[in-house]
Each structure stands twice: as C-alpha cells, then as structure tokens.
Structure 1
Amino acid sequence: MKAIADTFPALGEKVNWFPGHMYRALRLMKENVDKIDCFLEIRDSRVPISSRNQEFDDLCSFHSKKKIIIFNKYDLSNQRVMNNVIEKYNRVGIDCFAVSAKKGTNMKDIITQLQQRMPAKYDTVGTWLMICGMPNVGKSTIINQIRQIAPELHNRRAINKATATPCTTKSVVGVKFSQKPLAYLVDTPGVMIPNIQDDETALKLSLVGCIKDVIPGKEPILDYLVWILNKQKQQTYQHYYGMKEPAKTGDELFVHVRDKFNHYNYDTTYDFILDDFRTGKLGRITMDTIDF
C-alpha cells in the first residue's frame, strides 16, 4: 500500500450548515444568559476539539460565566488520547470529564461532579446550568440519564420544572437534578458552528453525525473515513469486514462491503458502513489532536 498522505485533499467548496432554528436557538441562549450560572458543554469524544463551538466560548467569556465540558461517547473514542486531552484541559484550569451516557459509564457520579464544581448561589433560587452542544453529541441522553439517577428524583413524578423568571413567555425552563444544593438543568437545541473553517473539520463532524451526510457528500465522507482509519493505523475495520489489506479509498471499501453483504442499493451500503463506524464496530478512534 502506498504511503498515506499527511493531509486529506480539499473538497473544493466550503461546507456550512446553520439552519434558521439554530440561529433562533443561539439567540435565545444569548437572551437568557443572565439567568444562567454555568454552561455545561457536551462534546463528542471522537472529535473533542472539532465539536467545540466557539459561540459558546464567546458567550461564556463575554458574560463571565463558568463552563464545564463533558466529553460524551467516551466508549467509542481512543481512551488513551481522551485521557490526555482531559489532563491537558484540567492543567490549564478547564473543568472537564468523560462519560458514555448511552452505556451509563461514569454517569453515576456525574451529579456529584456537578455539585462539587458548581455550588448553589442561593438556597431558594438554586444554580442554573444550561446544557449546550452541537447536534447529536448526546445532550438528551445525558439529561435522561441524570433524571434516572438523581437521588431526589427516583420517583419520576418528582421531576420538577421551574422557571427562572415566572410569568414571562421567554423564561428559561429547567429540570431539577439536585436538592442540596438546589440545581437545575436547562436544555437547548443542538447548535452548529455558523462558519466551519476547514474541510477536515466538516468531514469529522459529518462522520460522527453532527452534520447531515448530504452536506459534504457521501463519497468524501467515506474517503475521509478510510483515510483517517489508515492514518491512525486502526485496522479493526479490515478484520471486521474480512479484508486482506487496508482499503485505499472509500470506493474500494464500499465495493467490498456491498459485495460481501449482497447489497443492491447505494444508500444501504453507505449507511451500513457509517452505522458500523458510529457504533464503534470499526474500532475506537479520536480524530482530533490537542496542543497547548
């Protein structure tokens, strides 16, 4: 097999996906920022840097708000790399930790972690944490897990909703997850970066499902998948699909999988491969590197 290129070829046109509902969600976050004590940013452990939204950082910085990062889908990532990422973030004073919400990994102590990092300011009002992140990073799964394991909420009917500003149409609605100290979680829709700076970031985000596949195109995504797996010497996909040697292109992998599983539809094969990657069948991988 010939040497793997250091960089992935450019797509030829800029990739952006920021529909109107994301703009409205970001605007609503800005309108309610004064009612929030802390932002809880959820990122995907497979793309811990690419799934960072600068808009959230700017919001926190401008309004002097604390931010905690939760790296979700830890079970699908290269955990050695992710532990290094977390260590580097903690070293510069950024609170962060990793969970696998779907599997429940590290979820039992998530409430304790949050309580320790964000004590309540007022006993009657409590602390308000706004959960934010890109689409499909697992915000809803994390909230649902917290609802299940919160010690005060074993009776699901005890799950309370409250508003920071009663009797207003634009009030923030929160779910109580802690009684002592009193604390609420506020959910928000997934918000993408308004402007994606480079093609590789767009392809990474597409691979993990933050961007719709059709935006950059299925062929480039598959090409990038093969390129990044080979570049990181992740050979699980070869064994999983019964390949004698690594695929050189996305098309080569596509043809092999199509023929092996007798697929007769392009989308079926493509979705099959993508689903295998997204569920970890092709190996654990973290596509980003971090430098401080």
Structure 2
Amino acid sequence: MAINWFPGHMAKTRREIKENLKLVDAVIEIRDARIVKSSKNPDVDDICGNKPRIILLNKSDLSEGSITKEWIKSLSNENIRVSGVNCITGEGLKGIKPLLNDLLKEKHERMKAKGIVNIIDRVMVVGIPNVGKSSFINKMAKNNIAKTGDRPGVTRSRQWIKTKIGIELMDTPGILWPKLESEETQLNLAFTGAIKDEIMDIEELALNLIRRLQVDYADRLMTRYKLNELSEDPLENMNSIGRKRGAVISGGEIDYNRVSVMLLDEFRGGKLGAISLERP
C-alpha cells in the first residue's frame, strides 16, 4: 500500500506554521491516543524547535488507559508536557492552563515584575488531519468557531480564537508529511480516519484491521461480533463477521464493502472497546 497524500494546501500550511511560530509563546500538538507514534507529524519537531510544547493525546477514552500513561511518561521532558484528553467531552482540558503556566513560568515572572497582571498566552495548535484540533478549539472557546467534521481537510485558513482563561489559540489546518514511509504508519492513519477513505481500498483496509485486531484484541472481535472462534485467516474472520451481521448478497456471497464500512465505523467509534494500536 503506497500513499503519497500531500495536497498543495498542506505544503502552504507547513510554511505558514514556520513563519507564524514567532507570534506564539507555545505550541499545542494534538495526537491520537490510539496511534501516538503514527499521528505525530515528524516535521513538527523540526518546525517547532525548542518552542515550549504541550502534547495532547486526544481520544484517550478510545485507547487503553495503562498504555496511554506509558506514552505520557515516555514523551514528557523539560520542554514538553503531555496529557490524555477527550476533546469532545472536554475531559482533561482543565489541566492545560496549569501545564502552560508551568512551561511559561519565566515569561510570567518577567511580565509580573513589569506590573502586568492580565497575562495572555498565545498558543499555536497543530496536528494531522482529523485528530481533533477543531473540537479542541471549540471546547476551549466554548462555541463553534472552528469548523469540525469527521473527514480530514475541513479546517483551511489560520485564525485566532480567544478563550476565557487567558489563552489565545492560533488554529492551523491539519498537515501530513510528504511521504509516508512505513506501511504500519499508513495503515494506522487510515484505520483512524486521518487519511481520506476515498483514496483507500476500503475492503483491503478493513481486512488489514481484522489482521491486526485478531492478534492483539481477539476477545474484542469475538465479543462484538458474537463469534465462537477466530480463524488465522483474516478473510475467514471477515466472512464470519459478515454472516453474523447479515451482510450477505444474492447467492450467499458476503457484501465486503458493507462489512468493511461497518467494521471501520465501529472501530473508530469505540464500539470494539478501548484499543491502542501502538505502544511506546
């Protein structure tokens, strides 16, 4: 599977992020807690340099809690704070202000020494498509300023968003990197919807998801689809799921497209339970 998805607006966004970095005090990078490594844009380290950063592991309700804690410990350092959040419900977002205060302690002390009381921190929000940036911004601003959608590529232009807690957010469109080298990364991004389904072979993608889940989360597949046993062959398991869900067309053939769409939707919606596809 070879994916090279780098539309022109993403190249432009990369340049804008680099140019606008001087306007902000810190960066909030949002990743998917289920695929913490794959949902990291490797360009972000290079672009952001030593700028203070908070990494939010979004959709942490859909990942295994113990593995998310391992990621938080692994990624944290002197210049980076990490937290698990749910940008839809707002869980964990109250912890952002204290994290920011900790990271920008020296700046705040300098400003207070000058008699400045109402300190505004300006923060750039970055992340790959469909990772939850707009949901995060809307929750922080408590209104629907940023467009949201369950398909990548919804956010387009830069905008500043004010919050009531002394933080101004600079929104940026989601960007992927020019070439996705690892097939595992490609699949993880596609499983979670960061890459448009329209450019994927949806049936091949669902088959690969079954192949992955039958190794690490066999019990979830069996429970969700009421299977007595799993085969070593992912296609056999897809057939079993199709039959259990009545995705059968004339002649008893499995409707693979219907099974594929259903499986991916249920995985992305957390109906198979908390699943982490990557570990630190």
Query: Could you tell me the TM-score, scaled by structure 1's length?
Result: 0.78
List structure 1 runs of 4+ shifted beyond 6 angstroms. none
Match of 1:153 in 2: none
- Given that 1:126 and 1:183 are in contact with CA atoms closer than 8 Å, whether structure 2 keeps it comes out as yes
- The residue type equivalent to 2:172 in the other structure is T
Aligned residue among 193, 211, 220 for 1:227? 211
The separation in 2 between residues aligned to 1:140 and 1:172, in whole angstroms, is 12
- Three-state SS of the structure 2 residue aligned to 1:235 is helix
Aligned residue among 42, 51, 70 for 1:65? 51
- The residue type equivalent to 1:270 in the other structure is S
Match of 2:260 in 1: 270
- Given that 2:4 and 2:180 are in contact with CA atoms closer than 8 Å, whether structure 1 keeps it comes out as yes
Match of 1:46 in 2: 34
- Which deviates more from structure 2 when the two are superposed, residues 222-231 or residues 68-77? 222-231
Shift of 1:260: 2.4
Shift of 1:284: 1.5
Aligned residue among 230, 247, 251 for 2:235? 251
Q: Aligned-residue CA RMSD in angstroms? A: 2.6
Given the superposition, is the C-alpha separation of residues 254 and 230 from structure 1 closer, same or farther in structure 2, using an over 3 Å criterion? closer
The separation in 1 between residues aligned to 2:257 and 2:181, in whole angstroms, is 28
Match of 2:104 in 1: 118
Match of 2:133 in 1: 139
- Three-state SS of the structure 2 residue aligned to 1:219 is helix
- Three-state SS of the structure 2 residue aligned to 1:128 is strand
- Three-state SS of the structure 2 residue aligned to 1:32 is helix
Given the superposition, is the C-alpha separation of residues 109 and 67 from structure 1 closer, same or farther in structure 2, using an over 3 Å criterion? closer
Shift of 1:84: 0.9
The answer as to 2:272 corresponding to 1:288 is no
For structure 1, which runs of at least 5 residues remain unmatched after alignment?
A: 1-10, 149-155, 160-170
Match of 1:167 in 2: none
- Given that 2:79 and 2:103 are in contact with CA atoms closer than 8 Å, whether structure 1 keeps it comes out as no
1:193-237 deviations in Å (ceiling 9; x for gaps): 221111111001100111123444223322221222122244112
- Which deviates more from structure 2 when the two are superposed, residues 211-220 or residues 267-276? 211-220
The answer as to 2:187 corresponding to 1:203 is yes
Given the superposition, is the C-alpha separation of residues 144 and 234 from structure 1 closer, same or farther in structure 2, using an over 3 Å criterion? farther
Shift of 1:48: 0.5
- Given that 1:46 and 1:285 are in contact with CA atoms closer than 8 Å, whether structure 2 keeps it comes out as yes
For structure 2, which runs of at least 5 residues remain unmatched after alignment?
A: 146-156, 250-254
The answer as to 2:12 corresponding to 1:24 is yes
In the alignment of these two chains, the number of paired residues is 255
Shift of 1:248: 3.4
Shift of 1:266: 4.1
The separation in 1 between residues aligned to 2:231 and 2:271, in whole angstroms, is 16
- Three-state SS of the structure 2 residue aligned to 1:100 is coil
